[in-house]
Amino acid sequence: MARGLNIDRDTSERLGADDTATVREAEFLEVALCEHRAQVAKDGPVEHGLCANCGEQLPASWVYCDQDCKDDHEHRLETARRQGLRK
């Protein structure tokens, strides 16, 4: 599961249930961040100020102009992923 992560910790130390949960949470977070960074590197950065679906001008912090554009874009990405065109 760790996918090549090098998390240094003393394996001889016996951890309680709370400590084990904290370690697993840190490992999960590290994996999620690595996967996110890899996805962003593959897809390229999001152009701020343009809708990711239709290209309409937007305020700088927006990604989509409305919920329909967001749904349409996510549907097309999911279809491409299922067809093996994206991971």
User: What pLDDT, on a 0 to 100 scale, did the predictor assign at position 67?
Assistant: 93
- Between 20 and 42, name the one with better pLDDT: 20
User: What pLDDT, on a 0 to 100 scale, did the predictor assign at position 62?
Assistant: 85
Q: Helix, strand, coil proportions of the chain in percent (round to 5)? A: 50, 0, 50
The amino acid present at 26, given as its one-letter code, is A
- Between 83 and 44, name the one with better pLDDT: 83
User: What pLDDT, on a 0 to 100 scale, did the predictor assign at position 68?
Assistant: 94
pLDDT digit string, tens, across residues 24-75: 898 899 888 888 777 766 666 666 788 888 989 988 888 889 999 999 988 9
Nearest Cα residue to 35 out of 61, 63, 5 = 5
User: What pLDDT, on a 0 to 100 scale, did the predictor assign at position 1?
Assistant: 42
